[in-house]
A and B are shown apart, each in its own frame.
Chain A
Amino acid sequence: MTLRATVAELVREFRASGRIVIVGASLAGLRAAETLRGEGFTGSLTIIGDEPYEPYDRPPLSKQVLKGWVPADHTKLPRMREVDADWRLGVAAVGLDRVTKRVRLADGEEVPYDRLLIATGTRARQWPNPDEAALEGVHTIRSRDDAARLQKEFSESPSRVVVIGAGFIGSEVASVCRELDIPVTVVERGSAPLVGALGGVIGGIAARLQRDHGVDLRCGLGVSSLEGDSGGHVRRACLSDGTVVDADVVVASLGSIRNVEWLEGSGLAAGFWGVGCDAGGRAFDINGVVTDSVFVAGDVARAPHVLYEYQFLAMEHWDNAVFGAEVTAHNMVNLEPHYRPHLLLPGFWSGQFGVNIKSVGVPPFGDEIVFTQGSVEDRRFAAAYGRRGRIVAAVTFDHGKWLEYYARLIERSGPFPPPPSGWDQPADTEPMPAEFPDPRVPTAIPDVVLTGHAPSERTAEFRPRRH
Chain B
Amino acid sequence: MVEETPWQQALRYANRANPYPFYEELRKTPVARQPDGTYVVSTYREIVTLLHDPRVSSDPRKRPAPAAAQAEGSEEQAAEPIREVLTEPNIITCDPPEHDRDRRMMMPHFVGPPHAPHLISDLEPDIRRIVDGLLDGMKGKNRIDAVDDFAYPLPVTVICKVLGVPMEDEPRFHHWVETALDALDFGPEAASEEIRSRRAGGRQAVQEFARFADALLDRYARQPGPGMLSAMANDNGPEGRMPKGVLASNALLLIFAGHETTVNLIAHSVLTLLRHPDALEKLRRRPELIVPAVEELLRFESSVQFWHTRSAVEDIDIAGTTIPAGAPIFLVYGSANRDPERFTDPDRLDLERRDNEHLGFSQGIHFCFGAPLARLEVQIAVGEFVRRVRNPRLVEDPPPYRHNQIFRGPRHVLVDIDGIRD
Contacts and interface: CB of A to CB of B under 8 A. Distances in A.
Contacts of B363: 404
A374 B365 CA distance: 13
Between B48, B54, B312, the greatest number of chain A beta carbons within 10 A of the residue's beta carbon is seen for: B54
Contacts of B62: 423
Between A372, A380, A401, A422, the greatest number of chain B beta carbons within 10 A of the residue's beta carbon is seen for: A422
Nearest to B313: A422
Nearest to A373: B54
A423 B57 contact: yes
A405 B52 contact: yes
B100 interface: yes
B364 A374 contact: no
Contact of B52 (A402, A419, A424): A402
A408 B54 contact: no
A44 B314 CA distance: 58
Contacts of A380: 97, 100
Contacts of A408: 49, 52
A75 interface: no
A423 B52 contact: no
B55 A424 contact: no
A225 interface: no
B347 interface: no
B78 to A, nearest CB: 25
A100 interface: no
A73 B96 CA distance: 40
B56 interface: yes
B364 A404 contact: yes
Contacts of B312: 422
A422 B96 contact: no
A375 interface: yes
B288 interface: no
Contacts of A422: 54-57, 95, 312-314
B243 to A, nearest CB: 19
Contacts of B55: 419-422
A404 B364 CA distance: 8
Contacts of A401: 52, 364-365, 367
A424 B62 CA distance: 13
B367 to A, nearest CB: 8
A51 to B, nearest CB: 30
Contacts, number: 51
A422 B56 CA distance: 7
Interface in A380-412: 380, 401-402, 404-405, 408
B96 A373 contact: yes
Nearest to B366: A401
A372 to B, nearest CB: 8
Contact of A424 (B97, B314, B364): B97
Interface string A117-149: 000000000000000000000000000000000
Contact of A423 (B48, B49, B54, B364): B54
Nearest to A372: B54
B53 interface: yes
Nearest to B315: A419
B53 A405 contact: yes
B379 to A, nearest CB: 19
B95 A374 contact: no
Contacts of A423: 54, 57, 59, 62, 95-96, 313
Nearest to B365: A401
Nearest to A380: B100
A138 to B, nearest CB: 31
A419 B95 contact: no
A402 B54 contact: yes
Interface string B91-114: 000011100100000000000000
A167 to B, nearest CB: 24
Contacts of A404: 48, 52, 363-364
A375 B100 CA distance: 12
Nearest to B58: A423
Interface in B294-321: 312-314
A348 B367 CA distance: 22
Contacts of B56: 422
A217 B347 CA distance: 58
Nearest to B54: A421
A372 B52 CA distance: 14
Interface in B2-49: 48-49
A353 to B, nearest CB: 14
B95 to A, nearest CB: 4
Contact of B97 (A372, A375, A402, A419): A375
A374 B96 CA distance: 8
Interface in A5-22: none
A374 B97 contact: yes
Nearest to B367: A401
B53 A424 contact: no
Contacts of A421: 54-55
Nearest to A375: B97
B362 to A, nearest CB: 11
Nearest to A405: B52
Interface in A87-117: none
Contacts of A419: 55, 314
B48 to A, nearest CB: 8
A402 B55 CA distance: 12
A437 B80 CA distance: 56
A167 B404 CA distance: 53
B100 A405 contact: no
B97 A405 contact: no
Contacts of B95: 422-424
A422 B54 CA distance: 6
Between A373, A401, A408, the greatest number of chain B beta carbons within 10 A of the residue's beta carbon is seen for: A401
A408 B51 CA distance: 12
A420 B313 CA distance: 10
Contacts of B313: 422-423
A419 B52 CA distance: 13
Contacts of B53: 405
Nearest to B55: A422
Interface string B48-83: 110011111101001000000000000000000000
Interface in B351-406: 363-365, 367
A401 to B, nearest CB: 5
A423 B54 CA distance: 7
A402 B100 CA distance: 12
B307 to A, nearest CB: 16
Nearest to B312: A422
Between B49, B52, B365, the greatest number of chain A beta carbons within 10 A of the residue's beta carbon is seen for: B52
Contacts of A375: 97
Contacts of B367: 401
A407 to B, nearest CB: 9
A264 B48 CA distance: 47
Contacts of B314: 419-420, 422
B259 to A, nearest CB: 26
Interface in A408-448: 408, 419-424
Interface in A350-396: 372-375, 380
Nearest to B95: A423
Contacts of A420: 55, 314
Given A404-B52, A405-B53, A420-B314, 14 more contacts: A374-B96, A374-B97, A401-B367, A402-B54, A402-B365, A405-B54, A422-B55, A422-B312, A422-B314, A423-B59, A423-B313, A424-B95, A424-B96, A424-B97
16 contacts: A373-B54, A375-B97, A401-B365, A401-B367, A402-B52, A402-B54, A402-B365, A404-B48, A404-B363, A404-B364, A408-B49, A419-B55, A422-B57, A422-B312, A423-B59, A424-B100
The 10 residue pairs across chains A and B that have the minimum distance between CB atoms: A422-B313, A421-B54, A405-B52, A424-B96, A423-B95, A422-B55, A404-B52, A401-B365, A424-B97, A422-B57
Interface of A: 372-375, 380, 401-402, 404-405, 408, 419-424
